[in-house]
Amino acid sequence: MNNTPPKPLEESLDLKEFIALFKTFFAKERGSIALENDLKQAFTYLNEVDAIGLIAPKSVKESDLILIKLTKLGTLHLDEIYEIVKRLHYIVILQNAFKNFTHLKFYERLNAIVLPLFFKDLIPLFDDDGKIKQGANATLDALNESLSRLKKESAKIIRNYAHSKELAPYLVDTQSHFKHGHECLLLKSGFSSAIKGVVLERSANGYFYLLPESAQKIAQKIAQIDNEIDCCISEMCQTLSHSLQKHLLFLKFLFKEFDFLDSLQARLNFAKAYNLEFVMPSFTQKKWF
C-alpha cells in the first residue's frame, strides 16, 4: 500500500516556479493566491481596468498584529501606523486615478471606500519613508532642527582636526569615519600628546578610531536630543493609537479591501509583464487564480 501523500496541485501541474514568480507581484507576502471574492465581479474589474492599468502599491506587512494590538488597547509603533497609511494612500491614489471613470463597476467599488476624517488627516503626517513630516509636530520639528545643528557642529570639528597641522603626523587619512554612531578620526599611535578624546575602536591595522573630546560633548547632547525625539514620537504613537482604537471596524474593512485590490493589481501587472490573458472559466468555483 502506497502511503505517499499526493503532491500539491502546483507541483503536479509543474506550476511551482510560475506561481512563485506570480507571488512577487503582490504588495503583501501571502501563502494563498486565490481570490476570495466573486469570480464574475473580479473578472469584470480586470477587464475594465486592463486598458487603464493599476499601479502597484508599496510593499506592506501582515495586518493581523496591528488589529490584535489595537483590540487589546495597545500602542502601535510608528512603522505599524505607517503600514496603515500605505494602504490608505494607495486607495486614495486609485480613487483619484479613476475619478473620471464613473461608468465603471470598478469605480463604484473604489467609491464605496469612504475614509473617515481621522484617516484623511493621518495620511499627510507621514513622508514617503514612513517618517513624520516636517510641520506635523512643532516640538518634533524643533528637536530635529537642534539635532541637525549639533551634527553639523560635530562634523565641522572633525573636519578641522582632519586638516590640523598639529595632528597631521598622527592622521592615517583626512576622511571622516563612522563608528558606533559617531563621526570620528582614524589616528596612529602616539596621538595622545596632540589630542584628547575617547577611543571608540581599534582598526584591523592597529590604528585608533578617536572621538575628540570637544566632539564628545556634542555627542552627549545629540544622544539627549535623540532620546527626546523618541519620547515625542512615542507620545504621538500613543495619541494616534488611541484614535485608531475607535476605528477597528473600518480598519478591518480597509485591510480586506486593500488585499483585494492588491490581488487585482498583481494579476493585471503579471499578465501585462508576461503577455498573458484572463479567461473566464465556464464552471462555477469559489476561488480563482
140-176 confidence digits (pLDDT tens): 999 999 999 999 999 999 999 999 999 999 999 999 9
Per DSSP, helices labelled H in 27-179 are 39-49, 64-71, 78-97, 105-111, 117-122, 138-162
pLDDT of residue 279: 79
Look up residue 230 and give its three cell numbers.
Answer: 523618541
Could you say which DSSP state residue 7 is in?
P
pLDDT of residue 7: 58
Could you say which DSSP state residue 116 is in?
P
Check pLDDT > 90 for residue 14. Answer: no
- Answer for the pair 66, 76: CB distance below 8 angstroms, yes or no: yes
Per-residue pLDDT of 51-96, as tens digits, reads: 899 999 999 999 999 999 999 999 999 999 999 999 999 999 999 9
Across-strand partners of 35?
288
Cα–Cα distance between 245 and 251 in angstroms, integer? 9
| 66-69-75 Cα angle (round to 5) | 100
Nearest-CA neighbor of 57 among 90, 91, 23?
90
Check pLDDT > 70 for residue 26. Answer: yes
Spatial neighbors of 256 by CB under 8 A, at least 6 apart, are none
Backbone torsions φ then ψ of 179, nearest 5 degrees: -135, 125
Q: Are strands 208-212 and 177-179 parallel, antiparallel or unpaired?
A: unpaired
Cα–Cα distance between 259 and 249 in angstroms, integer? 16
Nearest-CA neighbor of 157 among 207, 217, 77?
217
Question: pLDDT-derived band of residue 212, with 50, 70 and 90 as boundaries?
Answer: very high
pLDDT of residue 33: 80
Q: Is 7 exposed, middle or buried (0-12, 13-18, 19+ CB in 10 A)?
A: exposed
Could you say which DSSP state residue 60 is in?
B
Residue 208: helix, strand or coil by DSSP? strand
Average pLDDT of every residue of the chain: 91
Check pLDDT > 60 for residue 119. Answer: yes
pLDDT of residue 12: 55
Check pLDDT > 60 for residue 201. Answer: yes
Q: Are strands 182-187 and 177-179 parallel, antiparallel or unpaired?
A: antiparallel
pLDDT of residue 288: 47
